[in-house]
A and B are shown apart, each in its own frame.
Chain A
Amino acid sequence: MAGSVLFDAPGPVTRARHRVYTLVASVAILAVIAFAVWRLQADGQFEYDLWEVFFTPDYLSAILEGVLITVSMAVFAVIGAVLMGLVLGVAKLSDHPVIRWPAWAVVEFFRAMPVLLLMTFFFFAYFISVEREVLFIPEESWGGFLSVIVALTLYNGAVLAEVFRAGVNAVPKGQAEAAYAIGMRKTQVMTTILLPQAIKIMLPAIISQMVVALKDTSLGYAVAAPGLTYIGNQIMLEFRNHVPTVLVIATIYVILNLVLTWLATLVQKRLVGEKKPLEVPMVGEANTGGTPL
């Protein structure tokens, strides 16, 4: 932290001043919170009938189902994105321009696209008429479900391609040189030496990409895809309890994302130890999801 060198260990006068600041700041923060609570109270947002829906088993199971669908959309999208990122990332490292350039073009194209644009397009172009009853997805939502997954796969795949490329480059040079020295071919070097090590380095980045994917699943709202946002919208329509619903649904999302972030940190400690995780500048996401406080 640069924070600690920015100022001296404070002396008595400064400490007194900081105490005053702290007091003022605390009062201000508390005032903001109190004001928000008072507003909610004044507008009757704490009335039980506005919240009742969240204590009703039927609706709770609908919300749980929404969570399940949201998480599975994110999981499928990330699995697809990892595969796509792997192929494109390796292609970008290829020695043949014929392979390198198209891969580069595909990655750049999908990184510059709003996810929502891709979703809308796939939905209206292809998935509007898909009908399957698979897993636990109500069949009328299956089209939206698919368009969310495909759009997120393409976007996150393009982002992960960059991560993979950097990951392979982060493997110490000596590894590849040693492999060549014992007579391995390029493909062998890539598949047996570089990729296994690269993936270990990249796992945390992949998990934090899941946070991004999970947040983006809510864009499915625009194509009537199922999931947590959709359920929230239904509840709002039925009970007109917008404030509680937004608060509850947003909280669920935040909890899901924090769990994922915590998982990423855990995996990173396990696999990479205390070394700095891989940092790649990402177009589109300054750094993913959540950094620990």
Chain B
Amino acid sequence: MRPMKFRAAAAVLLAASALAACGDAGSDDEGRDVSAEEDCDGKFEDGSAMADWSESGSIRIGHKTDQPGVGFQGATDDVPSGFDIEMAKILIADLCIDPDSDDVKWIETISDNREPFLQSDKVDLVLASYSITDERRAIVGQAGPYMITGQQVLVPSDSDVESIDDLKGEEVCSVTGSTSLENVNAAGAKGVGADDYSECAEKVLDGTYPAMSTDGTILAGLAAQNEGELKVVGEEFSEERIGVGYQKEEAEVCEWINGVLEESFEDGSWEDAFETTLGPSGVETPEAPELDPCQ
């Protein structure tokens, strides 16, 4: 949330200036309307993290800004959009907090800093195409998964690369600090780390790197953004189980997240979230995944 005061002042200043500001770039994409639960009295145990969030009415969500359809935010968007964000809204609504309210802080995380952000109490929950791994579970909490995807390869439309196996010894772009990068190296390619996925896509488009690789859902979003120029190829060569990150000390959070996720699988809101965000880029809605039991 940018403070609106400065925004407004700047807008007035600009309007007053002789600048012929007549452009109309950007898009308004609000996503689904999710309304908050009404009654949270006694819903959560006193002293639990959920009770704190619910009572204070504010929560901080770590998300991505560079993955169309999954987690994306333009320069002037107040709130991000995408499947991760829709799932976050479902969680927030369950706390009786209005997902559109200003007390919901959307905080950008990059692959590099998701664990540090959770460890240092900068965010409460992370929904940022966050793969569940044992290493991560050792330092932060991860509940879910709410989506299972696999790593594929994105190549220019005229490329004859068919899978990651065709890229042995070649440079393949992925994001610094992500599991994708490790998997690329494990498959025999040379992983090159970028700051974000859109950057990687640019680098594939301009021919710097023959391919990029990460979760199929993200690649589908990027391919849809660059219709006719990029295509997703190959079988999924890894299983990425996307879950919700939370702070380690709050074990009861896991039960709550799993409960809300389970409910969303059943009442169709999970499917609806998927179809409104990833559907347009041609990803088929999968079966709802099996949740991990909480440790």
Contacts and interface: CB of A to CB of B under 8 A. Distances in A.
**A–B contact at 8 Å CB threshold (below):** yes
Interface of A: 49, 52-62, 64-65, 68, 124, 128-129, 131, 133, 136, 138-140, 143, 224, 231, 234-235, 237-240, 242
B10 A61 contact: yes
B139 interface: no
Contact of B122 (A53, A62, A143): A143
B113 A234 contact: no
Nearest to B19: A60
Given A59-B75, A138-B3, A224 B21 contact: no
Contact of B26 (A56, A124, A242): A56
B170 to A, nearest CB: 24
6 contacts: A138-B2, A139-B1, A140-B108, A143-B122, A231-B75, A237-B65
Contacts of B10: 60-61, 64-65
Given A54-B23, A124-B113, A131-B122, 11 more contacts: A53-B26, A55-B22, A55-B23, A68-B6, A129-B120, A129-B121, A133-B3, A139-B105, A237-B198, A238-B74, A238-B75
A52 B23 CA distance: 5
B117 A129 contact: yes
Nearest to B3: A136
Contacts of B88: none
B21 A234 contact: no
B23 A53 contact: yes
A173 B1 CA distance: 57
Counting contact residues on chain B (CB < 8 A from A), the size range is 35 or more
Contacts of B6: 65, 68, 136
Interface of B: 1-3, 5-7, 10-11, 13-15, 19-26, 65-66, 74-76, 105-108, 110, 113, 116-117, 120-122, 196, 198-199, 202
A61 B14 contact: yes
A58 B76 contact: yes
Interface centre among B25, B108, B122, by most A CB within 10 Å?
Answer: B25
A239 B110 CA distance: 20
A124 B25 contact: no
Given A61-B10, A138-B3, A128 B26 contact: no
Contacts of A231: 75
B107 A53 contact: no
Nearest to B22: A55
Contacts of A68: 6
Given A60-B19, A62-B76, A237-B66, A53 B121 contact: no
B5 to A, nearest CB: 8
Nearest to A51: B23
B121 to A, nearest CB: 6
A237 B265 CA distance: 32
Contacts of A129: 117, 120-122
Contacts of A55: 19-23, 25
Given A129-B122, A136-B6, A138-B2, A60 B21 contact: yes
Nearest to A222: B195
Given A55-B21, A129-B122, A239-B25, A61 B11 contact: yes
A140 B105 CA distance: 8
A238 B107 contact: no
Contact of B108 (A54, A60, A61, A224): A224
B26 A57 contact: no
Given A128-B116, A138-B3, A231-B75, A59 B26 contact: yes
